[in-house]
Structure 1
Amino acid sequence: MPKPKRSNRAAGGQHKNVQAFSDDDSSIETMSHCSSFSDVASFAEDGTEVDEFAAQEDFEYKLKGLIDLTMDKSAKTRQAALEGLKTGLSSKILYDFISERRMTLTDSIERCLKKGKSEEQQVAAALACLLCCQLGSGIESEEVFRTVAPVLKTIVCDRSANTQARQACATYLGLCCFIATDDVEDLYTTMECMENLFTKQYHSEGGADNCSALHIQALQSWTLLLTICHNSEVKKKLDIHLRKLPRLLACCEVNMRIAAGETLALLFELAREADADFYFEDLEPLTQTLKSLATDCNKHRAKTDRRKQRSVFRDVLRAIEEGDFQPEMIRFGRERMHIDSWVKRLTYGTFKELFGSGMQFHLLTNVFLRSIFELGPPLLLDTATIKAMKVSREERHLNNSAAFKARTKARSKLRDKRVDVGEFF
């Protein structure tokens, strides 16, 4: 007897809904694009020969796919595509590729900022900055800035928007303006937008506010933009803010106190550069406040917060009292860069936060970034030399293990009560 045929209809006589392309499928496909960015680097570290031209073509092909996915209906897919593009732009120099697709990328970023939720907006804002960094200072990056700046300002000023999205937009709006704009009006309006945020802390009781993290980002972005202003504008801002900023040192949020202290040190540095005879009338009460913060031992504050605060404010106190700065040296490849001022320190820290692990590569190869830090044109290094400068994972692991063993032996020797005290003298 033949078997009865099964009906293609579900119970109740209704057709089943068949989805040709689901969010999960799209996210898996997108993740496969994003995860493959590390393939070339991993092969290079293992010493396997790689056809660089073919690898570059494959890399750009995957980037094209990610650009297309930024217009997908699925929010998860768009966010994963933005993350992949962010990883790609922060790890390589792609000027030619970006120039050909600048308008498409700009439109995608603008759309994601307008329609996306918090996490998508944060990644899109960072991608806008990376796009400007790839294009460098010029007409192309200025057009990108003028397209995305109104949207970023809207999010920053929107009290109903997610706080983390507002923080990211405040950070990257300031950085985009720093990179791209040549128009003084754009610079001043962006600074005014930031001022409207962090000056609210001046009137807060004890300097505390629910949006203190947003105000910190606004203060840092405003300070970064102040470093490229004309001396006359710097003097105006000093007259307005130098007497009010010390109020933020009483904030209950440690990060706000630190941001205010570093901003004060930078303002004093700019003031002394503009006027060698600069004198601040309220210097004595300010130094007393800084000394108390540099030696703070209040038990109601976390131990890590106290340690971090004391370290920063010792440097701030020296900067304000003596005009001194503790220099740092950054090594990348065969080159060295000296961080010898508060302005340079702030600029380096901002770009390092943007590029992440790709900062050293961009310091080596990015013409625009090198011009900011006055490093000159990039050195002509072949691929073999660049690979030779990289430390393999095994070497890093062995070095870390050796250092850990040395620390453990030294500490155990000091902690061993059976050791004769005379052995150490």
Structure 2
Amino acid sequence: MPRSKKGKRGSTKAGVKNGMKVESGASDDELTSDVLSHYSSASESTSVLEEGTGGEQVDEQTAQEETEDKLKQCIDNLTDKSAKTRLAALESLRQAFSSKLLYDFLTERRFTVSDCLERNLKKGSAEEQAAAATVFALLCIQLGGGDEAAEGFNMLRPILTSILIDNTASMTARQSCARALGMCCYVSAAEDGEDLIKSLSLLESVFMSSYSNREGALPTPKPGGPGLHSAAMQAWSLLATLCPASKLSVLLHLHLPKLQACLQSSDVNYRITVGETIALLVELGREIDEDFEVEDGESLCENLKSLATDSHKHRAKNDRRKQRSIFREVLHYIENEDFTEEKISFGVESMYIDSWMRRRIYDAFKEILESGVRHHLQFNPLLRDIIGLGPPIILDSTIKANKISRFEKHLFNSAAFKARTKQRNKVRDKRADVM
């Protein structure tokens, strides 16, 4: 099989390239909450492209204090008797956590916030549970993946698990819990092989219910089922990128044949998730064995070709277009090991998504952070370390001293953070075999 390109774990490229898919660097969506309006006023006076003045620093400090007061009120409102008030507080926190770095503020209040979110998950409505799970995932990203995030993950993992496997719970809440479980394990427990295996197994138990039976027939999907299975599979595949060669070999042998049958699912979004997961697993398989071949590869390619040229009129036009685009990429990679690169611009930097693994990682963070992903790519040391971008580029030394020096110092001197980084690097270059 010809090999024109190999995606490498943790690789990073910068500059301008032609002939690739490009994601525009549009500005974040305008957010309307009071919390974010104050963050906006603060950020305007602290742009890395501007020279700070004394007056601007005073304005920034005032805006910061006002913002923190509003955040404190949102945290207090998480325990309000009114469900509407609690939901509004969760939404404000979600927007604030996704749009800015709040490490110093949240480190001092992480137990309080975790306790409140646990209560929202245990006693709240389906909508409240879904929102609380998302806010908790954002909290782990904010805390930087060290001991603080691990403490919160250990506290809330049982309730996330309980909701995820509860067949009577809301599908929306279960989807949110699946995504939160995958993300929180990825950023806070990556160095713990036992936690990783437990989370993988739990997520597997959810989406494997969509696999075909012994006769080869796919089960009839329940309302909301494909969405849940997609969320669990995406979270599982994110964690699979951390697995050493021995564990990956087991996963490939178990799941690749079963996933091929799921390409015939009646749900277009689930089919796309399956296709992307197959491409990721094949890429990981080729990394641990240059001679890796997909079992019944010819049949797989025929199925992919059919989906890449699907023109059935009973499918929505947009669904057909999206499906054809994704499966053309998957087929091209399976046949030629060639990945269509994607350029992501943020601030004065650019990065390239040049492998299925890097796309899965980026998509997972983008799903949680939404429009705030570019801000975190620019300033969040945790995400930059995971993607392989290096420390944040700060053009104004006064901002570096005043805004994120504590965060950087904590992350890069923390023993837990170093252990996680060391473990991830070992896994990436395939020398680890800890499971």
TM-score by length of 1: 0.80
What residue in structure 2 maps to residue 329 of structure 1?
343
Match of 2:196 among 152, 173, 187: 187
The residue aligned with 2:63 is 55
Q: 2:117 aligns with which of 101, 104, 109?
A: 109
Q: Distance in 2 between matches of 1:250 and 1:383?
A: 55
- How much does 1:280 deviate? 2.3
Match of 2:355, as an amino acid? S
Matched residue, 1:255: 269
Equivalent residue number for residue 377 of structure 1: 391
Following superposition, the deviation at residue 203 of structure 1 comes to 2.7
CA distance in 1, matches of 2:254, 2:178: 21
What corresponds to 2:73 in structure 1? 65
Q: Structure 1 residues 42 and 58, CA, compared in 2 at 3 Å: closer, same or farther?
A: closer
Equivalent in the alignment of 2:304: 290
State how far apart, in whole Å, the 1-side matches of 2:141 and 2:260 are: 34
Identity of aligned residues (%): 49
Q: Which runs of 5+ in 2 are unaligned?
A: 1-31, 48-54, 401-435
Cα RMSD of the aligned pairs, angstroms, is 2.1
Quote the residue 2:142 is aligned against: 134
Equivalent residue number for residue 221 of structure 2: 209
Richer in helix (by share): 1
Report SS of the residue matched to 1:331. Answer: strand
- Contact 2:42 2:64 (8 Å CA) reproduced: no
What amino acid maps onto 1:91 in structure 2? Answer: S
Hey, what's the Cα distance between the residues in 2 that align with 1:359 and 1:281?
37
SS in 2 for 1:338: strand
- How far 1:69 sits from its partner (Å)? 1.2
Report the Cα distance in structure 1 between the residues aligned to 2:299 and 2:85, rounded to whole angstroms: 55
Gaps of 5+ in 1: 1-32, 387-425
8 Å Cα contact 1:223-1:263 kept in structure 2: yes
2:130, 2:165 → 1: CA distance? 15
Task: Give matches, 1:396-411, under 5 Å.
Answer: none
Deviation at 1:277, TM superposition (A): 1.1
Distance 1:203 1:280 in 2: 19
Question: Quick check: 1:86–1:126 contact (8 Å CA) kept in 2?
Answer: yes
1:161 match: secondary structure? coil
Q: Counterpart of 1:342 in structure 2: which amino acid?
A: W
Secondary structure, aligned partner of 2:292: coil
Maintained 8 Å contact 1:207/1:248: no
1:40 positional shift: 4.6
The verdict on how the C-alpha distance between 1:290 and 1:302 changes in structure 2, with shifts beyond 3 A counting, is same
Cα shift at 1:384:
11
**Structure 2 letter corresponding to 1:355:** L
Report the equivalent of 2:431. none
1:88 aligns with 2:105: no
- Which residue in the other structure is 1:35 paired with? 34
**Normalised by the size of structure 2, how large is the TM-score?**
0.78
Letter in 2 for 1:276: E
Tell me, in whole angstroms, the C-alpha distance in 1 between the residues paired with 2:373 and 2:255: 32
Q: Greater relative contact order (Cα 8 A, min sep 6): structure 1 or 2?
A: 2
- Kept in 1, the 8 Å contact 2:41–2:60? The answer is no
Structure of higher CA gyration radius: 1
Query: SS of 1:298's equivalent?
Result: coil
